[in-house]
């Protein structure tokens, strides 16, 4: 262990501070396609019975109209978070009729591009802005990409904990940075360590080694054929996170920004304000209709598809980059997790426990700055793992040398072990984090236990990625439909549905500028970080 990690663990193990570890927050955003009973993309609008996709706090849509997104409230314990996620699923199933939720990250069999509906959010300016942004995504990446689903894991530590760490760092009072700045830079340091080690998450939790042939839409690829309707890579862990996912030439030019919040914000501000010639040729309108919000490298900050983001809850009318500028980093969002097709809600409690230990390790350990060359190495290690993570003898690059993935993974598990022990000391259920660590160790020892290996085994047995996805979707649908909601839970969601529809109606009835002026004002606010 590093000196910093040892010192910080001892500090947090003190009776005066141990309770702080239970005061952070966890939240999950789970994306999932609506499909019909045959496992084909649902062609129906977002069910009105689920409320307004624009204003509902827990049930919305992502990029495609059929791509639901479930958002849990923030909880202090991931166990409670997953209970909330389970409840959202059960409520949704009471309103879906014959439709089901797709069980995998990679899409079901999709119709032609013209028949994939982009998410609609009503007639208000803000609703149209969200819709036009998605038109731009379809233009830039294709609609099939807008049907990929994932799990986003939101994680924060309490502000009091950052204050304890700041006071213990041995910096004289007069030279100490403001707590807000220390917290922001500490989260950025967490992100740097995440870049170093996130390949481990792809090995342990990647669950998309195969996909339906039609997804690629004729794009060139180096995948192998498993059957008439299925392509795969024999040692892949997550094709979703490979170069088959959200990638394009415009984003590939963005420079590393892991070394400070200022450099991160500067990178995004540049990308949302710098024209990109191929997008300029397309323009923002076609036949009088908006087709994208701007012709810049990014339309908005969220178009940058990073595996992890620093986040701050935004206020009404505020841009994400403005919130970060004004109030600093509040939490981080992990975005690289595949939907686990063996779990009804897409992620297991065991996975959540390991993520908590992994992310706390990333936050507490030393985190040197990353230069351009090192950033490229981290990206290459990640790319190797998503495409070849289960290959026997696979090596990754560390400190200028090649090291076996399994050896490095074992070392990381040992470094995380005292962090898991510390979490277990303050947790009501003894040993849950250590047990999760043991489950991950088993996957390192036996590659057949990884989700990607298990998925591929099932796909081979059935002969089709789509058939496997349909089978799991049917199992999960039966699971949720067999378990009724408590009356109070149903009443709460019914109230959220009604209030969200009323809120959207009020927004649409309120006076406002025309849409062209609204977009101009929105775009001009990009660089305002007062």
- Kindly state whether residue 388 falls inside one of the protein's structural domains: yes
DSSP state at residue 157:
-
Neighbours of 96 (CB within 10 A): 21
Report if residue 294 sits inside a domain.
Answer: yes
Looking up residue 311, the CATH number of its domain turns out to be 3.30.590.20
> 389: burial class by Cβ within 10 Å (0-12, 13-18, 19+)?
buried
Token pair for 373: 């060359």
The pLDDT of residue 194: 98
Q: Is 168 exposed, middle or buried (0-12, 13-18, 19+ CB in 10 A)?
A: middle
Residue at 171 is within a domain = no
Within a domain: 174: no
113: nearest Cα among 135, 131, 96 = 135
The domain in which residue 508 lies consists of: 3-165+181-524
Q: What whole-number distance in Å separates Cα of residue 268 and Cα of residue 185? A: 17
> Per-residue pLDDT tens for 88-134?
999 999 999 999 999 999 999 899 999 999 999 999 999 999 999 99
**Cα gap 333→317, rounded to integer Å:** 21
Q: Is the pLDDT of residue 176 over 70?
A: no
Tell me, yes or no, whether 121 lies in a domain. yes
Please answer whether residues 20 and 165 qualify as being in contact, where contact means their C-beta atoms are separated by less than 8 angstroms: no
Reported as a single tens digit per residue, the pLDDT across 264-316 is 998 898 899 999 999 999 999 999 999 999 999 999 998 988 899 999 998 87
- 470 domain-assigned: yes
State how many domains the chain has.
1
Question: What is the structure's pLDDT at 318?
Answer: 81
Q: Which two tokens stand for residue 15?
A: 């009776």
Q: Where are the alpha helices (DSSP H) in 13-114?
A: 78-93
In a domain, 172, yes or no: no
Helix (H), strand (E) at residue 386: helix 372-388
Distance of alpha carbon 320 from alpha carbon 466, whole angstroms:
37
The answer to whether residue 529 sits within a structural domain is no
What does the CA dihedral 458, 69, 201, 373 come to, rounded to 10 degrees?
130
Instruction: Provide the whole-model pTM.
Output: 0.95
- List, for residues 466-501, the tens digit of each pLDDT value: 999 999 999 999 999 998 899 999 999 999 999 999
- At residue 171, the pLDDT reads 65
Q: Which of 198, 182, 398 is nearest to 309 (CA)?
A: 198
């Amino acid at each position: 262990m590093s000196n910093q990690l040892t010192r910080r663990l001892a500090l947090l193990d003190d009776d005066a501070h141990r309770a702080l570890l239970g005061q952070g927050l966890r939240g999950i955003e789970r994306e999932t396609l609506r499909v019909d009973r045959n496992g084909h993309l649902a062609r129906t609008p977002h069910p009105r019975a689920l409320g307004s996709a624009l204003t509902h706090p827990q049930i919305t849509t992502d990029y495609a109209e059929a791509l639901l997104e479930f958002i849990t409230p923030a909880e202090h314990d991931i166990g409670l978070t997953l209970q909330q996620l389970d409840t959202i699923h059960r409520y949704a199933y009471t309103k879906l009729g014959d439709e089901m939720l797709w069980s995998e990250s990679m899409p079901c069999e999709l119709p032609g591009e013209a028949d994939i509906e982009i998410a609609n959010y009503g007639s208000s300016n803000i609703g149209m802005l969200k819709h036009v942004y998605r038109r731009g995504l379809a233009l830039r990446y294709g609609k099939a990409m807008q049907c990929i689903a994932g799990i986003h894991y939101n994680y924060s530590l309490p502000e009091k904990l950052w204050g304890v760490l700041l006071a213990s760092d041995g910096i004289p009072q007069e030279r100490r940075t403001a707590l807000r700045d220390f917290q922001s830079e500490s989260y950025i340091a967490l992100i740097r360590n995440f870049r170093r080690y996130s390949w481990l998450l792809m090995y342990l939790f990647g669950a998309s080694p195969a996909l339906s042939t039609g997804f690629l839409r004729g794009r060139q690829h180096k995948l192998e054929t498993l059957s008439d309707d299925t392509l795969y890579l024999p040692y892949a862990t997550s094709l979703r996170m490979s170069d088959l996912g959200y990638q394009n030439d415009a984003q590939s030019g963005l420079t590393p920004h892991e070394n400070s919040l200022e450099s991160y914000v500067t990178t995004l501000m540049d990308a949302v304000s710098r024209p990109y010639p191929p997008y300029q040729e397309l323009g923002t309108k076609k036949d009088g209709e908006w087709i994208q919000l701007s012709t810049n490298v990014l339309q908005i900050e969220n178009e940058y598809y990073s595996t992890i983001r620093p986040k701050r809850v935004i206020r009404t009318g505020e841009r994400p980059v403005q919130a970060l500028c004004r109030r600093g980093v509040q939490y981080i969002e992990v975005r690289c997790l595949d939907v686990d097709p063996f779990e009804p809600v897409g992620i297991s409690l065991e996975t959540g426990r390991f993520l908590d230990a992994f992310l706390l390790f990333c936050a507490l350990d030393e985190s040197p700055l990353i230069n351009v060359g090192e950033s490229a190495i981290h990206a290459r290690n990640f790319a190797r793992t998503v495409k070849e993570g289960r290959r026997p003898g696979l090596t990754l690059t560390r400190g200028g040398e090649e090291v076996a993935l399994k050896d490095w993974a074992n070392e990381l598990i040992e470094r995380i072990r005292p962090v898991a022990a510390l979490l277990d000391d303050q947790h009501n259920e003894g040993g849950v984090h250590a047990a999760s660590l043991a489950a991950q160790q088993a996957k390192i020892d036996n590659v057949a236990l990884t989700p990607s290996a298990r998925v591929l085994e099932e796909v081979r047995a059935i002969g089709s990625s789509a058939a496997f996805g349909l089978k799991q979707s049917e199992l999960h649908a039966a699971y949720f439909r067999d378990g009724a909601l408590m009356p109070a839970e149903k009443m709460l969601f019914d109230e959220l549905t009604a209030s969200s529809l009323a809120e959207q109606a009020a927004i649409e009835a309120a006076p406002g500028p025309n849409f062209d002026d609204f977009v101009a004002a929105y775009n001009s606010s990009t660089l305002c970080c007062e």
